[in-house]
A and B are shown apart, each in its own frame.
Chain A
Amino acid sequence: SQQGEEDPQALSIQEGENATMNCSYKTSINNLQWYRQNSGRGLVHLILIRSNEREKHSGRLRVTLDTSKKSSSLLITASRAADTASYFCATDQLHSGNTPLVFGKGTRLSVIA
């Protein structure tokens, strides 16, 4: 079963705009990660935020985590056409000892040049 639920399912924006995607999950976690997947390809790790962190930045990416609401958001600033992809949040469950990730269904982002 999939723990995470991304919102929205699809997002279309103009190049240069910011894109915000949200993720909700069900159980307590150690970490939450965001991955990107270009059409028909493998997943690329973007950023990881630990359960004791509230915000993290990496380049044009900003991730927030609210463990009380079991939710996270991914903000991509100044989007580019190359950011067009599906974005997934993934969690590993608390005390699971780094076992398999549980992914959401993803947000399909389209950045129009």
Chain B
Amino acid sequence: DTGVSQDPRHKITKRGQNVTFRCDPISEHNRLYWYRQTLGQGPEFLTYFQNEAQLEKSRLLSDRFSAERPKGSFSTLEIQRTEQGDSAMYLCASSLEFTLGNEQFFGPGTRLTVL
């Protein structure tokens, strides 16, 4: 399967703990995006990378959140000192620069529950 993969699919943690999620994009895609989706809402943009460079961050990305894409391939999203409000589905997507239309391919998501 050459689609976008995310790991883990589910994460339950206690408030105050740190969590890290991983995303593996489609191999030839140089753009990678993180979105957050809460119940009953559409995905909201968090941050995106072009190759290894983090080009944009949303105001939703507080200083407890950090994302990396060290070699321009997979990416990690870390949340430090988790809060109950961080409970959401975290979606990763990838796309290829210069693709007409900006179609993004999404992974299955990581569902985070903070107790």
Contact = CB atoms under 8 A, between A and B. Distances in A.
Interface of A: 2, 4, 30-31, 33, 35, 40-45, 48, 50, 88, 90, 92, 98-106
Contacts of B33: 100-101
Interface of B: 4, 31, 33, 35, 40-45, 48, 55-56, 58, 89, 91, 93, 95, 97, 99, 101-109, 111
A98 B102 contact: yes
Contacts of A33: 101-103
A83 to B, nearest CB: 18
Contacts, number: 69
Contacts of B45: 100-102
Contacts of B43: 43, 88, 101, 103
B102 A88 contact: no
Given A30-B101, A100-B48, A103-B44, 14 more contacts: A2-B42, A42-B4, A42-B106, A42-B108, A42-B109, A45-B104, A98-B31, A98-B97, A99-B55, A101-B45, A101-B102, A101-B104, A103-B42, A105-B42
30 contacts: A2-B41, A2-B44, A4-B42, A33-B101, A35-B106, A40-B109, A40-B111, A41-B108, A42-B4, A42-B108, A43-B91, A43-B93, A44-B106, A45-B105, A48-B101, A92-B102, A98-B99, A99-B48, A100-B45, A100-B58, A101-B33, A101-B45, A101-B104, A103-B35, A103-B43, A104-B42, A105-B40, A105-B41, A105-B42, A106-B42
